[in-house]
Amino acid sequence: MATEDGGEMAEGFEASVEGRDALLEIDVAVARNSLRAIEHVWFVAGEAMVRSPARDEAAGAAVKKGPWTPEEDQKLAEYVEKHGRGSWQRIPKLAGLNRCGKSCRLRWTNYLRPDIKRGKFTDEEEQLIIRLHSLLGNKWSSIAAKMPGRTDNEIKNYWNTHLRKKLLRMGIDPVTHRPAPANLNLLSSLLCPSAATHLGNALDPQVDVAHLLKLQLLQSILQLLTGSSATSPVAAAAAIAAAPNANLLDLQRSINIPLGSTNHSMNSLPMDEEASMEISSTNSFPAPAPAPEQAENSSTDATGEAWEDSDFWKDIIE
């Protein structure tokens, strides 16, 4: 645990050793079978970990940092429930906590608040975060405001640990929500008159791995755009190639996917004025480029039929 100065570190080390020794006396196997024991471990370990920077507030020094103990949680929760939030600066003193107000506010908003929804994010929530992030960027608090029960911190963490990587794997830039430039080149090449040749090569037993990977990448992008594999890959790819600067919403419109189709809850979102304006401005983007004639034509030729066939994709990926 980081300490603010050397003196605190020395005191903290002593406390840490005591705490560790106390911890060692606990039978871990038994402790794990008992909630009470877990709390005891948590408390002792917590004391050991976080005592270092803490000193008596009356001595006019640092407040406690690090993990919150169940006791502290209880004090804060009871105080806020009884008196309301009021001034966070005064709450620690009034609630009998040796914490700074900021820490109390964070603990309450991210953990103790009664309306917090915990547990894994659902697929719908994931889609919602992606869509909101494409509209709002890293405005985590604004995104959290559209997702009752979820905190900005939780959403931010989930984005950084899961969704960002997921988009990258799909070839989508998580900042711009657009296909990466390299992928646009690929898509363009797939739409060029020799697209059929590419496809033919891909189906050839001698096909090079790069072609298969490219096709798989395209499929991933389409799935992200549409939420299903039912949309014509040609139409979607044509839209991407025709409007490389478009974001996901533009592209969805370009290929005639209803805006709520990837996430039905989106349509019923409680939008504040700011968010509504942002969305409407997005909607008023230069009219989405109509899918090029080439794409329309190709959906009728032999290659197009293959593209239209969702089993076709399944086969390729498998």
Amino acid at 167: L
Strands, E, within the chain: which ranges? none
Please name which of 80, 71, 69, 135 lies closest in space to residue 109, comparing C-alpha atoms.
Answer: 80
Please name which of 47, 88, 97 lies closest in space to residue 67, comparing C-alpha atoms.
Answer: 47
* C-alpha–C-alpha distance, residues 239 and 241, integer Å: 5
Least Cβ distance, residue 268 to DNA (angstroms): 22
How many other CB atoms are found less than 10 A from the CB of residue 151?
Answer: 20
In the bound state with DNA, the residue whose beta carbon lies nearer, of 110 and 228, is 110
Least Cβ distance, residue 48 to DNA (angstroms): 8
Q: How many CA atoms lie within 13 A of 265 on its CB side?
A: 13
Q: How many CA atoms lie within 13 A of 318 on its CB side?
A: 6
Least Cβ distance, residue 74 to DNA (angstroms): 13
Please name the residues in contact with 99: beta carbons below 8 A apart, sequence gap of 6 or more.
63, 64, 72, 92, 107
Binding site for DNA (CB under 7 A): 1-2, 4, 45, 49, 64-68, 86-89, 101-103, 105-107, 110-111, 138-142, 152-154, 156-158, 160-162, 165
Least Cβ distance, residue 88 to DNA (angstroms): 4
Least Cβ distance, residue 33 to DNA (angstroms): 15
In the bound state with DNA, the residue whose beta carbon lies nearer, of 33 and 87, is 87
For residue 277, the Cα-to-chain-centroid distance in whole angstroms is 23
Least Cβ distance, residue 243 to DNA (angstroms): 27
In the bound state with DNA, the residue whose beta carbon lies nearer, of 157 and 228, is 157
Please name the residues in contact with 311: beta carbons below 8 A apart, sequence gap of 6 or more.
none
172 forms beta bridges with 179
